[in-house]
Amino acid sequence: MMVTLGIAGLCSGLAIVGIYLVTQPMIERNRAEALEAAIYRVLEGAKTRVALVLREGKLARFESPDGSLPKEEAVYAGYDEAGALVGFAVPAEGPGFQDTIKLLYGYNAERKRVVGMEVLESRETPGLGDKIIKDMNFVGNFRDLAVEPAIAAVKGGRSGENEVDAISGATISSVAVCNIINASNSRWLDRLADAEGVAAAGNGSSPDAAVSDGTGSGGID
């Protein structure tokens, strides 16, 4: 019995590792494309973007010859047609109701506000928790949201500028999204404020560092 189970487990493991190795590069590419598209959706009005990565505790421009996204942790500065900084798109992740929620949110450092949010990956309960993606009223909470004091999910309608109206039946998922953004804010906001100079300066001087979304439809929701 034990031998059978052992062999079955081993074969199963090998099969899963095999398919993982084959499909992983394709999945990574799809994810990068989805992230690229999401950057222009959470930063309304952005037409180009520059990736910023951590170098010795400070944010610095990530230069890549083919314009691909960095593999390491990064935030993205979005610029409008005139080359002015629209805001930062920050990827963040954290525990949801069932599995890790990965999301991307837009942040305007000047006004200290979250200006957009999109869930990239989640496995929340179909029909309840997955409303954090599909319920446009909930997603709309993040179009203009103060980050100080910390974002809070409340029930029965938002009253403060830092409040998000939680989805009934999906309270845990709603709170999870807020917590993820709060945790990410405490990690990034100071660095983003410092980086404003790095990001704003020289977008025009090195146009090849900024990658256009190509379709021209970026930022229009």
Partner 1 sequence: MPSQKDSYEELVKGLWRENPVFIQLLGLCPALAVTNSAINALAMGAATTFVLVGSSLLVSSLRNLIPKQVRITTFIIVIATFVTVADFTLQALAPVVHKELGAFIALIVVNCLILGRQEAFASRNSTRVAVADAAGMAAGFAFALFLLGCIREILGSGSLFGVSLFGPNFEPWVIMILPPGGFLTLGLLLGLFAWVKERRLRASQAVGGAPAERRAA
Q: Are 74 and 104 in contact (CB under 8 A)?
A: no
Among 57, 65, 73, 126, binds partner 1 (CB under 8 A): 126
Check binding of 27 to partner 1 (CB under 8 A).
yes
Among the listed ranges 44-52, 121-129, 143-151, 164-172, the one in contact with partner 1 (CB under 8 A) is 121-129
Among 55, 112, 123, 187, binds partner 1 (CB under 8 A): 123
Among 32, 34, 200, 209, binds partner 1 (CB under 8 A): 34
Q: Are 114 and 104 in contact (CB under 8 A)?
A: no
* Contacts of partner 1 in 83-102 (CB under 8 A): 98
Check binding of 130 to partner 1 (CB under 8 A).
yes
For 14, the token pair is 């090998």
* Nearest distance in Å: CB 26, partner 1: 4
Give the C-alpha separation, 106 to 142, whole Å: 9
Check binding of 82 to partner 1 (CB under 8 A).
no
**Closer to partner 1 at the Cβ: 25 or 65?**
25
Among the listed ranges 19-27, 52-60, 103-111, 140-148, the one in contact with partner 1 (CB under 8 A) is 19-27
Check binding of 196 to partner 1 (CB under 8 A).
no
- How far CA 160 is from CA of 135, 152, 167, 177, 200, in Å, comes to 20, 9, 17, 17, 31
145 Cα distance to chain centroid: 16
User: Mapped to the 3 state alphabet, what secondary structure does 100-135 carry?
Assistant: EEEEEEEEECCCCEEEEEEEEECCCCCCCCCHHHHC
Which residue in the block uniquely carries the two structure tokens 């500065």? 77
**Closer to partner 1 at the Cβ: 120 or 154?**
120
Check binding of 136 to partner 1 (CB under 8 A).
no
Total number of residues that touch partner 1 (CB under 8 A) = 24
- How far CA 2 is from CA of 6, 7, 8, 111, in Å, comes to 6, 9, 10, 62
